[in-house]
A and B are shown apart, each in its own frame.
Chain A
Amino acid sequence: MPETREITTASGLAVPPCAAPRPVDPAALGRPGDYPFTRGVYPTMYRGRLWTKRQDAGFGDAEESNRRYRYLLEQGQTGLSVAFDLPTQIGYDSDHAMAQGEVGRVGVAIDSLEDMARLLDGLPLDRVSISMTINATAATLLALTVAVAEARGIATSALSGTLQNDILKEYAARGTYIYPPGPSMRLCTDVIAWCSEHAPRWNPISISGYHMREAGCTAVQEVAFTLADGIAYVDAALGRGLPVDSFAPRLSFFFNAQMDVLEEVAKYRAARRMWARIMRDRFGAKDPRSMMLRFHVQTAGSALTAQQVDNNVVRVALQALAAVLGGCQSLHTNAKDEALALPTEESVRVALRTQQIIAHESGVALSADPLAGSFYVEELTDRIEAEAEALVARIDSLGGAVDAIAHGVVQREIQESAYRTQREIEAHERLVVGVNAYQAEEEPPSDILRIDPALERRQIERVRDVRARRDGPAAAAALSALEKAAADPAANLMPFVLDAVRALATVGEIADALRRVFGEYTAPSPF
C-alpha cells in the first residue's frame, strides 16, 4: 500500500495511519446493559447467554425443509430460521403462472395450513424460537404458525420467534413487495398491534439493513436507512394509538456483517447508541427495553466469491467475529458455496461450526464489548454515528423513510454506492482475493445442492388437492370477510387472516383478496 494515498474503510471513511488518543466520554459509552447501550444491551452479554446460532434454511417442500431443521437442531443450532420461496413471499400459489420455475427454489414452498403443519412437524414450538424471512405476506405466515400451534395445543402466548415484516426495505432493495406502501404499512402495523396483545414473546418486526447493504450501500447508509425505517414503524404504531412502551421492547433489528471487521464493530455500536437516543428523546420511551437495539446478523452474501470457494470459509469467520465483537443477539453464518447455489448439509455444518469455534475457543465472547476504548474503534463509532445522524436528518427533511423511498432517494443512494464499489474493483483500487487478485485456474465444484425439478409439479398437485378437498363455502366466506375488513382502515386484519388460514384458504388467495382492495405496487424505473 502506498503510504501517501488516502486510505479508507470499505465504506469510504478516511482511516488514520494511527488513531490519536481520545478522551472517553462515559455518558456516550455507558456500561453494558445501561443507556445508551453502546457497549451492549445486557450487563453480562455472552457470559449470561451466548448469542442464538440461527442458520436460515428452507428449500424444496415442507418435508425436506423439516428434515434440515431437525438436522440443524441435532447439530447444536439453538434457533430456527425459515426461508420461503419467492411465490410464497409474493403471494402466489405454486400453480400460478408467475410461480413457474421459482417453486421451492430460494426457500420452502408454503401454500396452505397443511404445508405449514408439515414444515413444523415435531419441532418444539414452545421451546425453540422461530425466525421467518417473510414480509409482504408476513401476516399470513404468522397466522399459519399460530394455527399450527393451536392445533397442537400450544398457546399463542408461548410462541417465541421473529417475523421480518419489514416492508419498507423491500421497496428500497429486496423487491418482494405486493401492495403500495400505504396499505403495506397498515398490514405491518396490524401485525405489531396484534402481537403486542396476543404474542408477547414474538418479535413482530425485524427492521433490516441487511438487504440494503447487500444491494451495495455503505455501513453509514445501512445504519441510517435502517433507523429511518425504524422511526417510520414507530410513528405508524403511535399513529394507531399504541403507547410506545407497549410495543417498542419487541422491535428487533437485522444487520449485515461485511469484510471490514473494525468498521463493522463500530457500526453495531453506533447503531445501538443512536437508537437508544431516538427512542428516549424523540419518542419519549420510559422503559429501557424500548431503547435497546437488539439485532440479528447475517454474514454478507455479496462478499462471497464464486472463485476459490474455500476462501469463503475464512471470509465468513472474519465477518462472524465482527458480529460477536459488536454484540449481536443472534447470528447466521453463510456457507461457502452460497455464491453458487443453496448450501449443502456439509457446508452449512462448517458455517455453524465457525460460530461454535468463536463462542467456545476464541475467547472473544468472555468479556463484553472487548474493543471499547480502542482509539480507532471509538473514532470509527463516533464518525459512523455523526454521518448516519446527518443522513437520518436528511431523510426526515424529505418527510421520512416512506416518502424518501417513494421518491427513489434511498434506492438511488444504494445504486450509486454499488456502482462505485464495482468501479473500484475493476480499477484494482479494491482487491478481492481470487476475483481481481491471486486468481487461479480451477475446476468448478460439482457437489452443490440441487432442487428436484419434480418438486414444482408435486407442489402444484398438492395445492390443487387442498382446494378440491376443503369446505369451499367456508374458505370463500373467510376470504370475503377479509376483503371487507381490508376496505375498513380501522380494522386489524390479523383475526381475519387467521380465520382464512384455518378455513384452508391459500397464501395466494389471501394475497389476492387484499390485492383487490389495495392494488399492486409498480416500482418507478431507476433510469
Chain B
Amino acid sequence: MSAISRPIRVLIAKPGLDGHDRGALVVARALRDAGMEVIYTGLRQSPAQIAQAAVQEDVDVVGLSSLSGAHRTLFPAVVEALRAAGAPEVLVIGGGVIPAEDIPALRSAGIAAVFTPGTPTAEIVAFLSGEVGAKR
C-alpha cells in the first residue's frame, strides 16, 4: 500500500554532448506539476553516470532527451548500463529529434516509449502513471 502511495520518481537525463535542454526541462517541470518527484542530471552525462544516478536516487523512470542524432547509440547504452547496475526494472523513455523509423529499434532495445516534438506533456504523464502503476 505504501509503495502505491509513494509518488513516481523520475530521473530526466541528457546523455551525450547535446546541450538543447528546453524539452527536457519543460517535461521535468510538467511531471513535477503532475505530482511526480523529478531529478534532473544536467548536461553531458555518460550512460554509466545516468544508471548510477538512477540507482542512487531509487527512481521508477529514466527519461532521456537527445536532439543530436546520437539516440541510436546512447539510449540503448543507458538500458544496458541500468541492467549492469542491477536496475533492469527501471522504465526508460526517450524524446527529442528522433525519426519515426528509428523508434521500432529503440523499442526493441528496451526503450518503453519515445515522445517526439509536439507531444502534449499530459500524454507523458498518463503513460508514466499507467506503466508505473501497473508495475506496482
- Taking a contact as CB atoms under 8 Å apart, the answer to whether B22 and A418 are in contact is yes
- Taking a contact as CB atoms under 8 Å apart, the answer to whether B29 and A419 are in contact is yes
Q: Which residue of A lies closest to B40 (CB)?
A: A527
Interface size in chain A (residues, C-beta < 8 A): 48
Instruction: Specify which of B17, B42, B72, B121 is in contact with A523 (CB 8 Å cutoff).
Output: B42
- Taking a contact as CB atoms under 8 Å apart, the answer to whether B42 and A522 are in contact is yes
Most chain B Cβ neighbours within 10 Å, of A98, A419, A434: A419
- Taking a contact as CB atoms under 8 Å apart, the answer to whether A526 and B25 are in contact is yes
- Taking a contact as CB atoms under 8 Å apart, the answer to whether A101 and B117 are in contact is no
**In this assembly, does A314 line the interface, its C-beta being within 8 Å of a C-beta of chain B?**
no
| Chain A, range 95-127, C-beta contacts under 8 Å to B | 97-102, 105-106
Query: In the complex the two chains form, what is the Cα distance from A211 to B122 in whole Å?
Result: 26
- Taking a contact as CB atoms under 8 Å apart, the answer to whether B68 and A102 are in contact is yes
- Taking a contact as CB atoms under 8 Å apart, the answer to whether B118 and A306 are in contact is yes
Instruction: Specify which of B20, B44, B73 is in contact with A100 (CB 8 Å cutoff).
Output: B73
Instruction: Specify which of A87, A105, A302, A306 is in contact with B22 (CB 8 Å cutoff).
Output: A302
* A340 with B17, Cβ < 8 A, contacts A419-B26, A527-B38 known: no
**In this assembly, does B87 line the interface, its C-beta being within 8 Å of a C-beta of chain A?**
no
Query: In the complex the two chains form, what is the Cα distance from A448 to B99 in whole Å?
Result: 8
- Report B-chain residues with C-beta under 8 Å of the C-beta of A98: 16-17, 44, 46
Q: Which residue of A lies closest to B24 (CB)?
A: A526
A416 CB to nearest B CB, Å:
10
Instruction: Type the 1/0 row for B26-64, where 1 means its CB is closer than 8 Å to any CB of A.
Output: 101110000000111011101000000000000000000
Give the interface of A toward B (CB within 8 A): 86-87, 89-90, 92, 97-102, 105-106, 170, 173-176, 214-216, 302, 305-307, 339-342, 415, 418-419, 422, 425-426, 432, 434-436, 444, 446, 448, 451, 522-523, 525-527
Give the interface of B toward A (CB within 8 A): 16-22, 25-26, 28-30, 38-40, 42-44, 46, 68-70, 72-74, 77, 97, 99-101, 116-118, 120-122
**Other A-B pairs, 6, CB within 8 Å; known A105-B68, A105-B69, A106-B68:** A100-B16, A100-B73, A102-B69, A170-B19, A306-B116, A422-B121
Top-9 shortest CB links A-B: A175-B19, A101-B73, A444-B100, A86-B17, A101-B70, A105-B69, A435-B118, A306-B117, A215-B22
Q: What are 15 A-to-B residue pairs whose CB atoms are below 8 Å? A: A86-B19, A90-B44, A98-B17, A101-B72, A101-B74, A175-B19, A214-B22, A302-B22, A339-B117, A341-B97, A341-B99, A415-B25, A446-B101, A525-B40, A525-B42
